[in-house]
Every structure is written in C-alpha cells, then in structure tokens.
Amino acid sequence: MENLDNITKKDLLKETIQHIDIKQYDSTELIDAMRRMSFTSRDTARAADILTMMCREKDCTNILTIAGSTSAAGCMQVYVDMVRNKMIDVVVSTGASIIDMDLFEALGYKHYVGTKENVIPDTKLRELYIDRIYDTFIDEEELQACDQATCDVADMLDSRPYSSREFLYNVGKWLAEGHGVKKDSLIQTCYECGVPIFCPAFSDSSAGFGIGKHQWLRKKAGKPYVSIDSVADFLELTEIKMNCPESGLFMVGGGTPKNFAQDTVVCAEILGKEVPMHKYAIQITVADVRDGACSSSTLLEAGSWGKVSEELQQMVYAEGTTVIPAIVSYAYHNGCWKEREYKQWQKLFMR
C-alpha cells in the first residue's frame, strides 16, 4: 500500500465484519455430503451429529466454551443463536471473547476487515491507535470505552467480592436497562434467557483494566471496592454440574475455559459427590498436541482424568470460523432444540 504516511484511521476502519446468521443458511445438505467424505469433513459431520444429540436430550446441560477470536471474526451471532434457541445452557468464555469482543459490540462499536502482517506495518497501526487480531482491526479508543464500561458497572455495585458469573449478570442487566446499543449481544441474551456466563480468567481482558481502574480509584479514596472471586466461579459451575443429570461440551478452541468446564467433574468428587463424566464433547481447534498443553490435549486424554466420556466425543482440527457455522446450522435446521426448555441455571444462585 502506497503513501502510508498519509493514511488515516478512517481509511482503514471502513468495512465492518459481518457476523454470519446460521438461521439464514441451511447446511444440512453440506453436512450430509461431508459425512460420506474423509478427514476433517467426516469429523465435522460427526460433530454436527453429536451436537444434535446433545440438544435432543432434554435433561442434558450443554456448556459452550469459547477461547480465541471467533467472536470478533464473524461467529458472534452463532453463539447468540445457540443460547436464544436453547441449544446452550451455560457459557464459559475468555475475558477477551465476552468483554473485548461481545460487550464491545453491545456498546455499538464494530470489528473491521483488516489486513495481515506486513501489509500495514503494526507500528503504523499503533500510531493510529488501531489494534490488530490477525486480519481484523479494532479501534483502540473504542476499546478503552469498553474498559470504562466495566468500571462504570463496578462503581454501581456493592463493594464486595463477586464471581465473574455474578458480575456478568449485572453487565447483562445494565445492557438490558438501556446502556447497550446492539440488543442481541451474547451477554444480554444470556441475561434474558437465564444462562450463566463464567469467565475464569476475567482480569485478562478489558474487565481487568476497567475493574482495575475502579479498585485504584477506590483505594486512593480510602473506600472499599469490587473484586472478582475466581474460586467462587469454580464452585458455582461445579454446583451446576452436581445438579444436572448429564452434560455436554461444545468447545471452541481450548484455553482456560476448556479445562475449567471439564474440571467440574473432578471438583464435584472432591466436594463429596460422584457425578458422571461429561457425556458429550466436541472440540474445534488447530492446536498441536505435541506441546502437552491443555488447549491441545485430546478429549481421549481428558478421559484419563475422568472428565469426558469416550463414546460421544469428537475432535475437529479446523480453524473455528470455517466449521462452526456449518455444525451449528445443521443442528438448528434439524430442529432438535425445539422441545428443549431454558434451564435457567442463573436461578440456582438467586438466593
């Protein structure tokens, strides 16, 4: 690109990312054809079948875990539709996915079609206050407004420790009361549908900056402040596992959300209650198993820890945006969710 010295933020932040609407695209024929293929195609079809089974089992609590940047890259509406249509009962997410991406767009901001490295120098992007996620751009000044939003919510709350689930419930309520611009954000949808959101590494996001600012100012004024209790998160999610007959996992990427959701089986045992392993499990990832990291560990490996049952599991080695819409569209158009009810796990903690 020529004349980089004259390029402006407005020049680069033009074309917004369009989030795919799985309700408008029926992938049934595609998935049925892939079932008769090999490699990742067949794995993708089996994952679609397992998600359909998870949704057909009315008493199964389905947990969506999100790591990585698929929310910024065009899958944000997919996750909203999964919750709205009763396919998902609990969400476990990274702070980036739920705050820096979802709350960010709920406030009316956008992600933009950008470029990969070496097209626009990242030093130039920094000069313009543009953040890059691979080939997606974000306005850093708008992201700082997202930081401030979490500070504003913290300022409204009683000064005490909160689980991330409880804090995000209050963010959803705040959005529903008119502070949001986009009405179908994942946070607000979960609030409206009684679906709890857990964020086990909450501080690793805009929330860390916003609540950090809240704490800093309160400390300087000699006042008590809001804090996030990550152990409370773990116990709350385990409590859901202890109260549901069966559970299934739909895992996008790996990271802390993956392990956090799987570990509830072990935690329940330590708390004195035997619970079944997660009956269903799907993981979509490009992580390489050879480094021994949790993100890349297979679902079979999780079985050795007593976390995931072996029979109804599927690893799909693909970048999420390429297969998630097809898998979820198949389950949606299959109608397997229509006889499910909202489980309202949020009410478990309203006491």
The span from the CA of 303 to the CA of 337, in Å, is 27
Q: Are the C-beta atoms of residues 46 and 318 closer than 8 Å to each other?
A: no
Q: What is the SS3 assignment for 264?
A: helix
Other CB atoms within 10 Å distance of the CB of residue 107? 18
- Please name which of 101, 99, 49 lies closest in space to residue 70, comparing C-alpha atoms: 101
Output the six-digit token pair for 319. Answer: 């970048």
Helix axis angle for 230-243 and 255-262, nearest 10°, is: 50
Handedness of CA 266, 267, 272, 275 (dihedral sign): negative
Helix axis angle for 76-84 and 186-193, nearest 10°, is: 10
The span from the CA of 31 to the CA of 52, in Å, is 12
Q: Are the C-beta atoms of residues 208 and 148 closer than 8 Å to each other?
A: no
Q: Are the C-beta atoms of residues 189 and 83 closer than 8 Å to each other?
A: yes
- Please name which of 69, 64, 94, 95 lies closest in space to residue 80, comparing C-alpha atoms: 64
Instruction: Please report where in the chains the tokens 């152990």 appear, as a residue.
Output: 231
Neighbouring residues of 5: CB distance < 8 A, sequence distance ≥ 6: none
The residues annotated with a catalytic role in the active site are 307
- Please name which of 333, 283, 310 lies closest in space to residue 40, comparing C-alpha atoms: 283
The span from the CA of 320 to the CA of 31, in Å, is 16
Q: What is the SS3 assignment for 75?
A: helix
The span from the CA of 59 to the CA of 143, in Å, is 39
- Please name which of 183, 164, 167 lies closest in space to residue 175, comparing C-alpha atoms: 183
